[in-house]
Structure 1
């Protein structure tokens, strides 16, 4: 299966920007960016842009997707799980005759009942993937899909400007909150390697058709991250130890009451609290890093980059 024309939604986001950069570095693709007519985001001047209204109607999306071989969705968590947008994107891809659809699945294994039980967003994304599988099957193979489970983007999580100290570790202020034991292990794939995995999957499209792709640069936990930071900095962090249970309970209640931003607390706790959502991909899944030719990255490299960023800020 040859995939040449690729359209990306969410090209300026935390993951969308690295994916767009990786796509542009691959000369075999013709890239189009999908954006809202009201968006003020600065886009590369030499890239084709398709604009749709804030309503993201199926008819508009279908028109935007016509002539595209692949759709890459890198929209952020809140919009993709509200108002059935994820399902409209899939329906439009089917209607437009798209060959490959990559949903905004990045993070957990959203088909794992452990993850879906803890975090409503994982459940919503699981429902999205199940719907995508169903619609793809209905096309008789004309539409295929690839989803990505990459764990944490630790480089993003240690960048306060992008993530607001998502994992409660502040490199600049030498502080960290450790939840429960701090030993809950989770896979890490840097944002650049996640982006590269998307591009590589499109290049070997026959091998990656209708597959969940699991990536993991390494597996770590909160205490290991802090220890690595302390070692490189030569100074100790001020540690605050907390129980995750009240935070999980409050965030769940807020989310159920319609406060969608509460999902970020739940997402963070799914990594660092003593909960089992199947995040140790190297233990539970077949990891694709080597097969996709991803560069090897270790904890010390990510920590070094975070320290350099903190020193510049």
Structure 2
């Protein structure tokens, strides 16, 4: 049985939480309890989805994450908490961590870290999109006793599916439009980027639970699916699709920085996207050594499969 015996997941029906839960369920026998904490609104709007989870022996706890008594009750008998809360609710993790540390049962907390490495280098501390995650880390590392609560940060880098997406009106931020055969590549030719599929995020979190060691506790686990370049992605699309040629352009790092600065100055929501893509283009997804092997080196997707999945997805639209 896993060292993480009884698990509680916040954000289980969200974009990433769904993949985490889907990865855990096939190895259900490795755990004791699997519970999810969901809001009354979600319980009402996703009733059919939650009923299916109950049939798979998942406990569904309904409550408000801001209700401390409800959270305390949910923590009873739980040793491991996984958060998959979204970017807009990251600050809500701090009271969840405080209550976890005060609980007699909870011993391990995995905060919502999935995405860009927020401590890649000295400049990371000043990046605007990182600030809420940095506050969560600071609380875990400075305000909580390791005897009360351990932590693990599963840092995956950008999601491959989102990196491939060419957003209308934000084309200069890069991506691929399979139907229109249009691509905008970021940075110089040969500049590398590491990506992780959302399905693999679930796999990597599951394996973190199954391979709890001194190396995985109280540390950042920088993991990914594969490393490639925008030009290699383009070449793979062309190889798999053949046919008519693509319209390919490129946004330089300098241009990306200009677009980013203008977006923040104008208060545009796209500013966060541009900052993240600039960080990735600067090399902020590349690690000296990835931690996949520490958590059992699970099977993850490669470039060919990711491109094939994107082509299949678009063909269904």
Q: TM-score range by the shorter chain?
A: 0.7 to 0.9
In 2, distance between residues paired with 1:301 and 1:124? 33
Change in 2 beyond 3 A, CA 1:12/1:183: farther
C-alpha separation in 2, matches of 1:76 and 1:167: 23
Once the two structures are superposed, residues 223-280 of structure 1 have per-residue CA deviations (whole angstroms, 9 ceiling, x without a partner) of 22122111211143212333212221133335xx5x6664233223332x3x243x11
Taking the aligned partners of 1:260 and 1:90, their CA distance within structure 2 comes to: 29
| Matches of 1:13 and 1:238, distance apart in 2 | 34
2:38 is equivalent to residue 35 of structure 1: yes
Does residue 147 (structure 1) correspond to residue 153 (structure 2)? The answer is yes
Return 5+ residue gaps in structure 1 as ranges: none
Could you give the per-residue CA deviations for residues 203-222 of structure 1, whole angstroms, max 9, x where no partner exists? 22234221211112221122
The runs of 5 or more residues in structure 2 that have no matched partner are none
Confirm or deny: 8 A CA contact 2:166 2:175 kept in the other structure. Answer: no
Judged with a 3 Å threshold, the aligned counterparts in structure 2 of structure 1 residues 41 and 264 are, in CA distance, closer, same or farther, namely: farther
User: Pick from 126, 138, 163: which aligns with 2:134?
Assistant: 126
**What residue in structure 1 maps to residue 85 of structure 2?**
75
- The alignment yields a C-alpha RMSD, in angstroms, of 2.7
3-state DSSP of counterpart to 1:107: coil
**TM (normalized to structure 2)?**
0.83
1:52 to 55, 63, 77: 63
The reply on whether 1:108 has 2:112 as its aligned counterpart is no
Q: Are the counterparts in 2 of residues 79 and 85 from structure 1 also a CA contact under 8 Å?
A: yes
Q: What are the Cα deviations for residues 48-104 of structure 1, in whole angstroms up to 9, with x where unaligned?
A: 122223x62444323322221111111121221xxx312112112112231110011
Check whether the contact 1:71–1:100 (CA below 8 A) recurs between aligned residues. Answer: yes
Deviation (angstroms), 1:124: 2.6
Tell me by how many angstroms 1:159 deviates: 6.3
Which of 273, 276, 285 matches 1:264? 273
Shift of 1:8: 0.8
Q: Equivalent residue for 2:76?
A: 66
Alignment map for 1:179-190 (pairs within 5 Å): 179-181=186-188, 183-190=190-197
1:11 equivalent in alignment to 2:1: no
- Asked if 1:22 is matched to 2:23, the reply is yes
Question: How many residues align structurally?
Answer: 297
TM-score by structure 1 length? 0.84
Q: Is the radius of gyration larger for structure 1 or structure 2?
A: 2
Deviation at 1:303, TM superposition (A): 0.8
